[in-house]
């Protein structure tokens, strides 16, 4: 897949070069992962997702703790068998509740992550377009889609600066 994209990108760049041979074409590359990791907006989003994850993790740990306590009671030889049957039923119910909570938490995390990724992508796209227009770039592509890109073509740090100006991460 990456090879196909790289070949297509090479063809497009070649066609642009041929069709506008007399014009100067400015090309740059960016590393979106670095932008996510180092921009204030990316850090804000990661913080929100981590907070949500931590909250759900603590809820799951509380359920797990309840299950361990019930399991210990079930194993206690001092408790009568009829009482243990009630505890086993309670354990089974809480076990299913914990599984449902884990599934729900994972689904919520996936949904939040996808939504925030889309929002970040839209913000990044807007910043890149504005930057490209201001600096006269004809083409800005992801660094990992290139077979080779000279370090001088990398404008990732410039985009991080522009992202931080546009979205200070508050």
103-123 per-position pLDDT tens digit: 999 999 999 999 999 999 999
What beta strand segments (E) does 68-151 contain?
139-142
Q: What percent of the chain has pLDDT over 90?
A: 73
pTM value surpassing 0.75: no
> In angstroms, rounded to a whole number, what is the distance separating the alpha carbons of residues 51 and 112?
12
Res. 76 pLDDT band, cuts 50 70 90: confident
Q: Among 3.30.420.40, 3.30.9.10, 3.30.910.20, 3.40.640.10, what is the CATH number of 2-166?
A: 3.30.910.20
Q: Please list the alpha-helical segments (H only) found in 20-80.
A: 32-38, 40-75
The whole-number pLDDT of residue 125 equals 96
Percent of the chain with pLDDT over 70: 85
Are the CB atoms for 90 and 70 separated by under 8 Å? Answer: yes
Helix (H, G, I), strand (E, B) or coil at 76: coil
The predicted-structure confidence for 16-68, as pLDDT tens digits, reads as follows 555 544 468 899 999 999 999 999 999 999 999 999 999 999 999 999 999 99
Contact 55, 122 (CB under 8 A): no
Domain assignments of the chain as residue spans, ordered by start:
2-166
**pLDDT in the model for residue 73:** 87
Q: CA 141, CA 137: separation in Å to the nearest integer?
A: 11
Give the bridge partners for 140, in sequence order: 28
Q: Which residue has the tokens 């990398």?
A: 154
């Amino acid at each position: 897949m990456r090879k196909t994209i790289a070949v297509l990108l090479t063809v497009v760049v070649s066609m642009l070069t041929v069709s506008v041979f007399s014009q100067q074409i400015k090309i740059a590359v960016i590393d979106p992962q670095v932008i996510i990791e180092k921009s204030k907006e990316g850090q804000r989003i990661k913080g929100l997702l981590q907070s949500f994850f931590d909250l759900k993790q603590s809820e799951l740990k509380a359920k797990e703790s309840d299950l361990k306590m019930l399991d210990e009671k079930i194993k206690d030889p001092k408790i009568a068998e009829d009482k243990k049957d009630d505890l086993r039923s309670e354990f089974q119910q809480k076990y299913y509740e914990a599984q449902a909570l884990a599934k729900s938490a994972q689904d919520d995390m996936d949904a939040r992550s996808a939504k925030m990724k889309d929002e970040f992508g839209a913000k990044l796209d807007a910043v890149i377009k504005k930057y490209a227009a201001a600096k006269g770039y004809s083409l800005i592509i992801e660094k990992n889609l290139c077979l080779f890109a000279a370090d001088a073509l990398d404008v990732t740090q410039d985009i991080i600066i522009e992202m931080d100006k546009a979205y200070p991460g508050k």
